[in-house]
């Protein structure tokens, strides 16, 4: 499965990179897209759900990376709820 990274910039100046085990995240985000942080988290969690489904279907067990990123997003939800997010880059690694 292709690893896909999503680089984001939060309106407070913080930059982060999110790692997805599937390219399905490209169905949820576009480069230069700007969102309220809570809207971003909702879409990110939905894309994680889809990624996890694909991993489970292919390998027979859920993706630990999805679970870790989900917890990270839930923590950020409270920290950055009044911020906005810009999708800076989406990169798919095919191996």
Residue 54's pLDDT is 92
Residue 35's pLDDT is 98
- pLDDT confidence bin for 1, thresholds 50/70/90: low
Strand partners of residue 20? 4
- Mean predicted confidence (pLDDT) in 12-30: 94
Q: Closest by alpha carbon to 85, among 47, 43, 24? A: 43
Domains held by the chain: number: 1
Give the residue numbers spanning the domain of 49: 3-93
Q: Are 19 and 64 in contact (CB under 8 A)?
A: no
- What are 40-79's pLDDT values in tens digits? 999 999 999 999 999 999 999 999 999 999 999 999 999 9
Record the pTM: 0.90
Query: Tokens 């191996």 map to which residue?
Result: 95
């Amino acid at each position: 499965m292709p690893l896909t990274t999503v680089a984001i910039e939060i309106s407070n100046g913080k930059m982060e990179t999110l790692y997805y085990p599937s390219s399905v995240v490209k169905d949820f985000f576009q480069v230069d897209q700007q969102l309220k942080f809570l809207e971003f988290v909702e879409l990110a969690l939905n894309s994680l759900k889809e990624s996890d489904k694909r991993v489970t279907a292919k390998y027979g067990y859920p993706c630990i990376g999805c679970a870790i990123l989900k917890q990270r997003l839930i923590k950020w939800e409270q920290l950055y709820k009044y911020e906005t997010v810009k999708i800076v880059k989406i990169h798919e690694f095919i191996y």
